[in-house]
């Protein structure tokens, strides 16, 4: 199944409009034609069935035939990850985090980050593709923050879990303990990990430090490992 995306502003009076890359993809790559049926999501839980009315290169008009509102998954999973230096590894981490259900992804310029800037537009388009690929209806927000403090301050109500390789005892069943929460903030360090000062700061803020097993994982693997126990 192929899913298309149109933000809520492009859906009104029983019609949806695909624009930009979405329209090019539909018209040029998928060669969609008037009369064909399609599914589209608005990234805010809206899921629509419609029939194509008109196709131009940069604009595809769809008549809406059915609409469903998909409730936002709970707990809301927020991933705060140190910026990974290698671009392909960072992009992998963002893509997998979306597939596994992240609702917000914060790229943290933590103390041991080597790379300080990212192409947010690229990561947003990866997040969009991953949302469609995984048949999700909520489009995650990707943003950059300057520190762990800023990350935590943005989500004052969230329960915080920090993946920390120095926690002994191996992986625990943390998802079961946090599944009833409204918001869970999951923190994963960059290649060089978090500094002792950062770990202390987060622990003081009430975070639980968790192990992802007895072995050291690469940052992008840790991202997938920390998210997957929450799969439903």
CA distance 37 to 214: 50
When asked if residue 80 is in the footprint of ligand SAH (CB under 6 A), the reply is: no
CA distance 9 to 22: 15
Residues 6+ apart with CB under 8 A from 117: none
Phi, then psi, of 129 in degrees rounded to 5:
-60, -40
When asked if residue 211 is in the footprint of ligand SAH (CB under 6 A), the reply is: yes
Residues 6+ apart with CB under 8 A from 57: 23, 24, 27, 28
The nearest distance, CB 131 to ligand SAH, in angstroms, is 24
Decide if 162 contacts 138 (C-beta within 8 A). Answer: no
When asked if residue 124 is in the footprint of ligand SAH (CB under 6 A), the reply is: no
The nearest distance, CB 92 to ligand SAH, in angstroms, is 14
When asked if residue 213 is in the footprint of ligand SAH (CB under 6 A), the reply is: yes
For ligand SAH, the closer of residues 158 and 163 by Cβ is 163
For ligand SAH, the closer of residues 79 and 139 by Cβ is 79
When asked if residue 194 is in the footprint of ligand SAH (CB under 6 A), the reply is: yes
For ligand SAH, the closer of residues 77 and 222 by Cβ is 222
Q: Which of 188, 202, 207, 227 binds ligand SAH (CB under 6 A)?
A: 188
When asked if residue 193 is in the footprint of ligand SAH (CB under 6 A), the reply is: yes
When asked if residue 175 is in the footprint of ligand SAH (CB under 6 A), the reply is: no
Q: Which of 222, 224, 227, 230 binds ligand SAH (CB under 6 A)?
A: 222
180 exposed, middle or buried (CB, 10 Å; 0-12, 13-18, 19+)?
A: exposed
Residues 6+ apart with CB under 8 A from 140: 97, 98, 102, 103, 104, 105, 127, 131
CB atoms within 10 A of CB 58: 12
Give rounded-to-5 percent helix, strand, coil for the chain.
30, 30, 40
Q: Which of 111, 150, 165, 181 binds ligand SAH (CB under 6 A)?
A: 165
For ligand SAH, the closer of residues 48 and 194 by Cβ is 194
The nearest distance, CB 162 to ligand SAH, in angstroms, is 7
| Contact positions vs ligand SAH (CB under 6 A) | 163-165, 188-189, 192-194, 211-213, 215-217, 219, 222
């Amino acid at each position: 199944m192929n899913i298309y995306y149109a933000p809520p502003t492009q859906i009104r009076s029983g019609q949806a409009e695909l624009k930009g890359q979405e329209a090019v993809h539909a018209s040029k790559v998928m060669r969609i034609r008037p009369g064909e049926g399609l599914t589209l999501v608005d990234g805010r839980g809206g899921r629509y069935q419609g029939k194509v009315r008109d196709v131009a290169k940069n604009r595809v008009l769809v008549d809406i035939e059915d609409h469903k509102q998909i409730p936002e998954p709970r707990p809301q999973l927020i991933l705060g990850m140190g910026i990974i230096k290698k671009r392909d590894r960072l992009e992998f981490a963002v893509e997998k985090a979306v597939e596994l259900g992240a609702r917000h992804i914060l790229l943290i310029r933590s103390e041991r980050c080597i790379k300080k800037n990212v192409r947010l537009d690229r990561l947003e388009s990866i997040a969009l593709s991953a949302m469609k690929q995984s048949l999700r209806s909520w489009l995650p927000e990707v943003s950059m923050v300057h520190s762990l403090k800023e990350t935590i301050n943005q989500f004052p109500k969230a329960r915080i879990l920090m993946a920390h390789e120095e926690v002994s005892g191996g992986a625990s069943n943390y998802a079961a303990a946090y599944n009833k929460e409204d918001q869970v903030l999951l923190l994963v360090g960059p290649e060089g990990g978090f500094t002792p000062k950062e770990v202390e700061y987060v622990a003081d803020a009430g975070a639980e430090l968790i192990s992802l097993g007895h072995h050291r994982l690469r940052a992008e693997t840790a991202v997938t490992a920390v998210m997957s126990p929450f799969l439903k």
